[in-house]
Chains A and B, each alone.
Chain A
Amino acid sequence: MGLTKKDFTLLIIVAILCVFAPFILNPFPEGSAMAQFNAGYPDLMQRLVIFGIFAIGFNILFGLTGYLSFGHAAFLGVGSYAAIWMMKLLTMNVIPAIVISVLVAGLFSLLVGWISLRRSGIYFSILTLAFAQMSYALAYSVLTPITGGETGLQPKYTDPRILDGALEPGQTPRANLFGLDMKQSFELTMGDWVFTFNAGYYVAAVIMLVAFYLSIRIFRSPFGMMLRAVKSNQQRLNYTGLNSKPYTLAAFVISGMYAGLAGGLLVAMDTQVGAERMFWTASGEVVLMTILGGAGTLIGPVLGAGFIKYFENIVSKINKSILEQWFAFMPDGIEDLLITLVYPFIGKGWHLTLGILFMLVVIFLPGGLVEGGQRVGRLFKRKKPADDKPDGKTTPAE
C-alpha cells in the first residue's frame, strides 16, 4: 500500500480499534454503576469517527502548513447542506450525498482559500473566521429558502427524490446504503454485556479509515514535505524560487473536502442540518481537537476528536446524584466538600473542564496527547530499556 512498516502498523491498529470499537467502548456490563461510562452506542460512535475525519482534515492544513483556520466549520456546514439536498432531490442512498458534499465543500474551500491565502498568520485566521461567520449569518437569514434558516432541513415525505420509488404512506425516508438502513443495529448480548453493531457506524468507520490512509500518504509524500517546508520557513521556500501558494491552496482545499466529507457523513447518519453547525465555536472545536491530540501528528487529531466527543457525551451526563453515589463511602463532611468541589466541572460545566484542559495542554504539552504519550513512553524506556512501547496509542506518529 506504499506505507512504511511503522505507518502500516499504525493503520492496522486504528483499523482494529475501529472494528472492535463496540466492544472497546462498552467495557462495563449493562445496568452496573459504571455503565454510564459506556460509549458503545451508535450515535456517539458515529460522532467519534466523523469528527475524527474532520480533525484529520484540519490537521492536514494546520498541522502541516501551520495556517490556523478559524472557519473550518463552514465547510462542514456546506457539505451537510449539499448532502441533505441530494437526499431531498435524488435519493436517500448516502453515496451520492457524500460525494456531492465533498465536491461542494471542495469548491467552496477553493474560493475561500484562494482569497484567504493571500495573507498569513493572524490575518489568515481572521479572514477564514470572517468567511465562516458570513456563511453562518447568511444561512440563518437570507438563504433560508436553501438552508431552512432556523429550523434547518430534514428529508420530507413530499420531497421529489427522483431515483427512489415513491414512499408508502406513513413510511419515513431513511438514509441507506443500497437498502442497508444507516440506523439499523445488531445487538449482541454476552452475559451482562450488550454490544451494539450499527450499520451507519461501520460505513463511517470504513470511510474514516480511507481518509486516514490518505492522510498518511499525504504526510509521507513530497507534497507533504513541501507543506512542512511552508510551516518551518515560508520565506526561505520562496527564496528558492518556489511559489508556495499552489501547495497551501491544495492543502486548504483538501482539508476543506475532509470537512465536507464529515458534514456529509453527519447528514448520512442523522438526516438533519442546522446553521449552528457553522457557528465559529464549531470551528473552534476542531482546533481544540487537533491541538489536544497533537497537531502535525498522524494519530493525534483522531485521538483528540475521540477524547473531546467522548468526554462531551459522558462527563456532561454525570449529575449530582451520580456524584453522591460515588462519594457515598466518604464521611459526610468530606463527601459534601468533594461534591461541591467536583460539581462545577461536570454536567453542564463540561466546557469549563474542556477549557482548563485545553489551556493546560497548550501551556505544558504543545504537542498534545501524542507528545504526552511519548514522554510517558520515554519515561518507561529509561527504566526498562527492554520494554518497548507501553501501548499502541503512544506509538510516535512522526
Chain B
Amino acid sequence: MDAIILQILNGLDKGSAYALIALGLTLIFGTLGVVNFAHGALFMIGAFCAVTLSRILTLSHTVIDETQKDFLGNPLKVDVPYIYDIFGQATGDVIIDWAVPLSILFAIPVMVGIGFAMERGLIKHFYKRPHADQILVTFGLAIVLQEIIKYFYGANPIPTPAPDAFRGSFDFGAMLGFDPNTIIYPYWRLVYFAFAAVIIGAVFAFLQFTTFGMVVRAGMADRETVGLLGINIDKRFTIMFGIAAAVAGLAGVMYTPINSPNYHMGMDFLVLSFVVVVVGGMGSLSGAVLAGFLLGILESFASMAIVLETLPGINQIIIYLVAIIILLTRPRGLMGRKGVMEE
C-alpha cells in the first residue's frame, strides 16, 4: 500500500509538468487550430526566466571589507550583491533565497510577451496553411529558440535551488499513519503539484466563469459565428496564446529546482507532451490534464523495481505504448470530442 502511494506521489510532479504543458498545447490547438511544436521551448524559456532572475538578483560589485583580513593581513575583497545595498543584508538574503518563486512574477510578463510576439509575428500567417506546415515552422522556431538559449547560457544544466525552507524531504507516510520512513517525499515536489493544481484550476475557472472565457469557449466551438456576432475573436485568441505561453513558462519556472534547466529540456518534454495531448484527446482541456497526470503516474509505476524485473525496460516505453494502444482503440483519445481533428 505504501509503495503504491509512493509511486503515485512520484508520478505527480512529472504528471503536473506534462499536464501543464499539455494544457497550454491544447489551449492553442483548441483556439487557434495550430499545432505548436515550439511549446516545449516555451517551457524551457520559462525555466531560464528563473535562472535569469536569480542571476539578476545576485549581480554583485566588489568592495574592500576592512573587517575581514586574509592571511597576509590585507583587507579582503568581497562580492556584495546590489540587492544588499537596496534592502540590507537580511532581506537581501531572503530575496535571493526565494528567487525561484519570485520568478513567477518575472516570468508572467515575459512569457505573455513572447507568446504575443510569436502569435502576431509568425503563427498568424499559418492559420490557413496545412498542419504539416505549422508543425514544421514551429519545429524550426523551437530549434532557433533553444539555440539562442544555448548561446547565452551554455550547454550545461544550471542548478537553481528551491528556497531553503522547501529543500529536503519529509516523512509523508508517518502523517498518513504508515510506518515511519516508508514514504519520504521532497517538499518542493508537493509545492509543484499544488502550484500546478492552482494554475490548472485558475485556467479552468477563467474559461468557465468569466465573460472573456465564455466568448473564448464559444469561439472554440464555432469561430465564424462568434465573429459574425461582431466580436473580435482573433484578439481574444491572441490573448489565449499569451496565456498558454505563460502556463508553459510557469511550469518551467517551478520545475527548475526539480531538474536543473538545460537548453534541450523543452524538446525532451515536448515529445511526451504531444503524446499526452493525443492520449487526452486533441482539443480537450480536461482530457489533457487527466492524461498528463495519468501518464506521469503510470510512468512512475513502470519504474518500480518489481515491475522492471518482470518487464525490463518498460519504464522507458510505457508512455508510447499506452499512446499507441489508445490511439488505435479510442481514436479520439480519452476525452476527445467528435469532429475535432478527426483526421
Interface residues of A (CB under 8 A from B): 66, 68, 115, 118-123, 125-127, 129-131, 133-134, 137-138, 140-143, 280-281, 284, 287, 291, 344, 349, 351-352, 354-356, 358-359, 362-363, 366
Complex-state Cα separation, A351 to B282, whole angstroms: 31
Complex-state Cα separation, A68 to B129, whole angstroms: 15
Q: Are the C-beta atoms of A122 and B135 separated by less than 8 Å?
A: yes
Would you call B320 an interface residue if the criterion is a C-beta within 8 Å of the partner chain's C-beta atoms? yes
Determine how close the nearest CB of chain A comes to the CB of B314; give it in whole angstroms.
Answer: 9
Q: Are the C-beta atoms of A134 and B131 separated by less than 8 Å?
A: no
Q: Are the C-beta atoms of B147 and A137 separated by less than 8 Å?
A: no
Q: Are the C-beta atoms of B151 and A349 separated by less than 8 Å?
A: yes
> Which stretch (B4-12, B73-81, B102-110, B271-279) binds chain A?
B271-279
Complex-state Cα separation, A126 to B271, whole angstroms: 8
Complex-state Cα separation, A68 to B313, whole angstroms: 28
Would you call B158 an interface residue if the criterion is a C-beta within 8 Å of the partner chain's C-beta atoms? no
Q: Contacts A122-B135, A363-B125 hold; do A352 and B144 have CB atoms under 8 A apart? A: yes
Q: Are the C-beta atoms of B323 and A130 separated by less than 8 Å?
A: yes
Residue-wise interface mask of B (130-145) relative to A, using a CB-CB cutoff of 8 A (1 in contact, 0 not): 0111011101111110
Q: Are the C-beta atoms of A125 and B312 separated by less than 8 Å?
A: no
Please name all residues of chain B whose beta carbon is closer than 8 Å to the beta carbon of A126 when the two chains form the complex: 274-275, 278, 323, 327
Q: Which of B298-324 contact A (CB under 8 A)?
A: 312-313, 316-317, 320-321, 323-324
Q: Are the C-beta atoms of B316 and A344 separated by less than 8 Å?
A: no
Q: Are the C-beta atoms of B343 and A129 separated by less than 8 Å?
A: no
Determine how close the nearest CB of chain B comes to the CB of A371; give it in whole angstroms.
Answer: 14
Determine how close the nearest CB of chain A comes to the CB of B97; give it in whole angstroms.
Answer: 34
Q: Are the C-beta atoms of B313 and A287 separated by less than 8 Å?
A: no
Q: Are the C-beta atoms of B35 and A122 separated by less than 8 Å?
A: yes
Q: Contacts A68-B135, A130-B320, A280-B271 hold; do A120 and B343 have CB atoms under 8 A apart? A: yes
Please name all residues of chain B whose beta carbon is closer than 8 Å to the beta carbon of A123 when the two chains form the complex: 278, 327, 331, 341
Complex-state Cα separation, A281 to B267, whole angstroms: 9
Complex-state Cα separation, A225 to B132, whole angstroms: 21
Query: Which residue from chain A places its CB closest to the CB of B145 in the assembled complex?
Result: A355
Please name all residues of chain A whose beta carbon is closer than 8 Å to the beta carbon of B136 when the two chains form the complex: 287, 291, 358, 362
Complex-state Cα separation, A281 to B129, whole angstroms: 24
Please name all residues of chain B whose beta carbon is closer than 8 Å to the beta carbon of A366 when the two chains form the complex: 129, 133
Chain B interfacial residues counted at CB < 8 A = 38
Complex-state Cα separation, A127 to B323, whole angstroms: 8
Since A66-B132, A126-B327, A362-B136 are in contact, a sample of 7 more A-B pairs with Cβ atoms closer than 8 Å, ordered by chain A residue number, is: A68-B132, A115-B328, A127-B323, A142-B312, A352-B147, A355-B142, A358-B143
Q: Are the C-beta atoms of A137 and B317 separated by less than 8 Å?
A: yes
Would you call B117 an interface residue if the criterion is a C-beta within 8 Å of the partner chain's C-beta atoms? no
26 sample A-B contacts, Cβ–Cβ < 8 Å, listed by A number:
A120-B343, A121-B131, A122-B135, A122-B282, A126-B323, A127-B323, A129-B274, A134-B316, A137-B320, A138-B313, A138-B317, A140-B316, A141-B313, A142-B316, A280-B271, A287-B136, A352-B151, A355-B141, A355-B143, A358-B139, A359-B137, A359-B140, A359-B144, A362-B136, A363-B137, A366-B133
Interface residues of B (CB under 8 A from A): 35, 122, 125, 129, 131-133, 135-137, 139-144, 147-148, 151, 267, 271, 274-275, 278, 282, 312-313, 316-317, 320-321, 323-324, 327-328, 331, 341, 343
Determine how close the nearest CB of chain B comes to the CB of A392; give it in whole angstroms.
Answer: 28
Q: Are the C-beta atoms of B135 and A133 separated by less than 8 Å?
A: no
Q: Which of A118, A125, A141, A349 contacts B328 (CB 8 A)?
A: A118
Please name all residues of chain A whose beta carbon is closer than 8 Å to the beta carbon of B343 when the two chains form the complex: 120-121
Please name all residues of chain A whose beta carbon is closer than 8 Å to the beta carbon of B151 when the two chains form the complex: 344, 349, 352
Complex-state Cα separation, A108 to B133, whole angstroms: 28
Please name all residues of chain A whose beta carbon is closer than 8 Å to the beta carbon of B282 when the two chains form the complex: 122
Q: Are the C-beta atoms of A354 and B143 separated by less than 8 Å?
A: yes
Determine how close the nearest CB of chain B comes to the CB of A233; give it in whole angstroms.
Answer: 11
Which of B129, B135, B142, B320 gathers the greatest number of chain A CB atoms within 10 Å? B320
Complex-state Cα separation, A123 to B332, whole angstroms: 10
Complex-state Cα separation, A86 to B275, whole angstroms: 35
Please name all residues of chain A whose beta carbon is closer than 8 Å to the beta carbon of B328 when the two chains form the complex: 115, 118-119
| Total number of residue pairs linking A and B with CB closer than 8 Å | 106
Q: Are the C-beta atoms of B140 and A358 separated by less than 8 Å?
A: yes
Complex-state Cα separation, A366 to B35, whole angstroms: 18
Q: Are the C-beta atoms of A130 and B275 separated by less than 8 Å?
A: yes
Determine how close the nearest CB of chain A comes to the CB of B10; give it in whole angstroms.
Answer: 19
Closest 8 CB pairs of A and B: A142-B313, A355-B143, A137-B316, A352-B147, A359-B140, A130-B320, A355-B144, A358-B140
Q: Are the C-beta atoms of A362 and B144 separated by less than 8 Å?
A: no
Determine how close the nearest CB of chain A comes to the CB of B135; give it in whole angstroms.
Answer: 7
Q: Are the C-beta atoms of B324 and A119 separated by less than 8 Å?
A: no
Q: Are the C-beta atoms of A125 and B140 separated by less than 8 Å?
A: no
Query: Which residue from chain A places its CB closest to the CB of B139 in the assembled complex?
Result: A284
Complex-state Cα separation, A131 to B327, whole angstroms: 13
Determine how close the nearest CB of chain B comes to the CB of A334; give it in whole angstroms.
Answer: 22
Determine how close the nearest CB of chain B comes to the CB of A290; give it in whole angstroms.
Answer: 10
Q: Contacts A122-B35, A131-B320, A349-B151 hold; do A356 and B144 have CB atoms under 8 A apart? A: yes
Determine how close the nearest CB of chain B comes to the CB of A122; give it in whole angstroms.
Answer: 6
Determine how close the nearest CB of chain B comes to the CB of A121; give it in whole angstroms.
Answer: 5
Q: Are the C-beta atoms of B271 and A133 separated by less than 8 Å?
A: yes
Complex-state Cα separation, A209 to B258, whole angstroms: 51
Q: Are the C-beta atoms of A349 and B147 separated by less than 8 Å?
A: yes
Please name all residues of chain A whose beta carbon is closer than 8 Å to the beta carbon of B313 when the two chains form the complex: 137-138, 141-143
Complex-state Cα separation, A45 to B143, whole angstroms: 26
Determine how close the nearest CB of chain B comes to the CB of A15; give it in whole angstroms.
Answer: 31
Complex-state Cα separation, A281 to B331, whole angstroms: 26
Q: Which of A66, A129, A291 contacts B271 (CB 8 A)?
A: A129
Please name all residues of chain A whose beta carbon is closer than 8 Å to the beta carbon of B274 when the two chains form the complex: 126, 129
Determine how close the nearest CB of chain B comes to the CB of A346; give it in whole angstroms.
Answer: 12
Q: Which of A66, A118, A355 contacts B140 (CB 8 A)?
A: A355
Q: Are the C-beta atoms of A134 and B321 separated by less than 8 Å?
A: yes
Complex-state Cα separation, A190 to B140, whole angstroms: 43
Complex-state Cα separation, A129 to B278, whole angstroms: 12
Q: Contacts A123-B327, A355-B140, A359-B141 hold; do A134 and B317 have CB atoms under 8 A apart? A: yes
Complex-state Cα separation, A64 to B284, whole angstroms: 32
Q: Which of B137, B148, B331 contacts A352 (CB 8 A)?
A: B148
Determine how close the nearest CB of chain B comes to the CB of A134; give it in whole angstroms.
Answer: 4
Please name all residues of chain B whose beta carbon is closer than 8 Å to the beta carbon of A137 when the two chains form the complex: 313, 316-317, 320
Please name all residues of chain B whose beta carbon is closer than 8 Å to the beta carbon of A130 when the two chains form the complex: 275, 320, 323-324
Query: Which residue from chain A places its CB closest to the CB of B147 in the assembled complex?
Result: A352
Determine how close the nearest CB of chain B comes to the CB of A151; give it in whole angstroms.
Answer: 17
